[in-house]
């Protein structure tokens, strides 16, 4: 399982502010734990520990398995230009939990240009949402294009924001040259199992 030379597999979760990155984590954590995956989380916020505190309050993981990194600057700086803080946090989780399978690293909310350094993660997903508009895939942001998996979240909202979900999904697949696109509704736990399957296949080498 550990082919990356640094312990647990590291998976980044990026995307624009409010697209549902933390909501996706809240759904993924119990599902992955239920599959026997030993996991921990690192959250990134600008100047607070807001997302880490939210996850600790939800009691989905032991508090010591949730570390917070304060970006203090543009969120992409600490996931791409200089990911040292996140790498150190992940290394410390590997030391504390030697049997860890997976570390999920949530970026602070950013813009469509944010990407993860492959020094930090083995795989990364990018979360956009239908309320951001169905033109988001057509804008060809690096996050949309380059991520290993694109997640279109809040699909429950598409009738209320005038988005043609099928077209949005098709355009996303087209700009990504057929690389995976999944749709989720974190409110109703819809599509989350497919995201967990993708992670298990891609970085844990386990089927569902
Ligand atoms: N209707 C609906 N609301 C959602 C869904 N996913 C998340 N939300 C809501 O969207 C808002 C933002 O969700 P978060 O999970 O905080 O988003 P985030 O990407 O972590 O936000 P930042 O960390 O601030 O960038 C919250 O009010 C969520 O309840 C969804 O699938 N459907």
Residues 157-172: tens digit of each pLDDT: 999 999 999 999 999 9
Q: Does residue 20 line the site of ligand 1, with CB under 6 A?
A: yes
Q: Does residue 22 line the site of ligand 1, with CB under 6 A?
A: yes
Are 130 and 158 in contact by the 8 Å Cβ rule? The answer is yes
Are 105 and 13 in contact by the 8 Å Cβ rule? The answer is yes
**Rg for the chain (alpha carbons), in Å?**
16
Token pair for residue 91? Answer: 């290394």
Q: Is 3 a residue whose pLDDT tops 90?
A: no
Residue 191 counted as domain residue: yes
Residue 208 counted as domain residue: no
User: In three state form, how does the secondary structure of 129-195 look?
Assistant: EHHHCCCCHHHCCHHHHHCCEEEEECHHHCCCCCCCHHHHHHHHHHHCCCCCEEECECCCCECHHHH
Q: Does residue 14 line the site of ligand 1, with CB under 6 A?
A: no
pLDDT digits (tens, 9 = 90+) for 55-103: 999 999 999 999 999 888 788 889 999 999 999 999 999 999 999 999 9
Task: Indicate the number of domains in the chain.
Answer: 1
Closest ligand 1 atom to residue 25 Cα is 15
**Best of 12, 13, 23 to mutate for ligand 1, by most ligand atoms within 8 A of CB?**
23
Q: Does residue 71 line the site of ligand 1, with CB under 6 A?
A: no
User: What's the gap in Å between 153 CA and the centre of ligand 1?
Assistant: 9
**Coil, strand or helix at 90:** helix
Q: What is the structure's pLDDT at 46?
A: 81
Q: What is the structure's pLDDT at 2?
A: 44
What predicted TM-score, i.e. pTM, was given to this entire model? 0.95
Residue 206 counted as domain residue: no
Q: Is 176 a residue whose pLDDT tops 90?
A: yes
Are 36 and 149 in contact by the 8 Å Cβ rule? The answer is no
Q: Is 196 a residue whose pLDDT tops 70?
A: yes
- What band does 205 get if pLDDT is binned at 50, 70 and 90? confident
Q: Is 13 a residue whose pLDDT tops 60?
A: yes
Residues belonging to the binding site for GTP are 15-22
Domain of residue 51: give its range: 9-201
Q: What is the structure's pLDDT at 47?
A: 79
The Cα 188–Cα 204 span in angstroms is 26
The Cα 161–Cα 41 span in angstroms is 32
Q: Is 185 a residue whose pLDDT tops 50?
A: yes
User: What's the gap in Å between 185 CA and the centre of ligand 1?
Assistant: 10
Q: Which residues of 9-19 are buried (b: 16+ CB within 10 A; e: fewer)?
A: bbbbbbbbeeb
Q: Is 1 a residue whose pLDDT tops 50?
A: no
Percent of the chain with pLDDT over 90: 84
Average pLDDT for the chain: 93
- Asked which of 18-32, 66-80, 167-181 is least confident by mean pLDDT, the reply is 66-80
Closest ligand 1 atom to residue 190 Cα is 31
Task: Kindly state the average pLDDT of the residues 98-110.
Answer: 95
Percent of the chain with pLDDT over 70: 96
Q: Is 24 a residue whose pLDDT tops 50?
A: yes
**Best of 12, 20, 44 to mutate for ligand 1, by most ligand atoms within 8 A of CB?**
20
ipTM: 0.98
Q: What is the structure's pLDDT at 93?
A: 98
- From residue 186, alpha-carbon distances to 25, 50, 196, 208 in Å are 9, 19, 13, 19
Return the CATH number at 188. Answer: 3.40.50.300
Residue 159 counted as domain residue: yes
Bridge partners (DSSP) listed for residue 126: 14, 150
Residue 4 counted as domain residue: no
Q: Can you state the percent helix, strand and coil of the chain, rounding each to 5?
A: 40, 20, 40
Residues belonging to the binding site are 15-22
Residue 186 counted as domain residue: yes
Residue 30 counted as domain residue: yes
Helix axes 21-34, 192-199, angle to 10 degrees: 70
Residue 207 counted as domain residue: no
Q: What is the structure's pLDDT at 45?
A: 85
User: What's the gap in Å between 96 CA and the centre of ligand 1?
Assistant: 30
């Amino acid at each position: 399982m550990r082919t990356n030379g640094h312990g647990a597999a590291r998976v980044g979760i990026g995307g624009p502010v409010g697209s549902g990155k933390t909501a996706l984590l809240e759904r993924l954590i119990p599902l992955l734990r239920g599959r026997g995956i030993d996991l921990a989380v690192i959250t990134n916020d600008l100047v607070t520990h807001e997302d880490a505190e939210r996850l600790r309050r939800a009691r989905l993981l032991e508090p010591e398995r949730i570390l917070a990194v304060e970006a203090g600057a543009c969120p992409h700086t600490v996931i791409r230009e200089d990911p040292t803080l996140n790498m150190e946090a992940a290394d410390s989780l590997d030391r504390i939990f030697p049997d860890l399978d997976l570390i999920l690293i949530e970026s602070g909310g950013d813009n469509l240009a944010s990407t993860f350094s492959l020094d930090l993660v083995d795989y990364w997903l990018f979360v956009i949402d239908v309320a951001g508009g169905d033109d988001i895939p057509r804008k060809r942001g690096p996050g949309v294009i380059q991520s290993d998996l694109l997640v279109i979240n809040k699909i429950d909202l598409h009738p209320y924001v005038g988005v043609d979900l099928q077209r949005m999904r098709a355009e996303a697949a087209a700009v990504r040259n057929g690389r995976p696109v999944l749709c989720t509704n974190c409110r109703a736990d819809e599509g989350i199992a497919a995201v967990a399957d993708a992670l298990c296949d891609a970085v844990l080498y386990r089927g569902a």
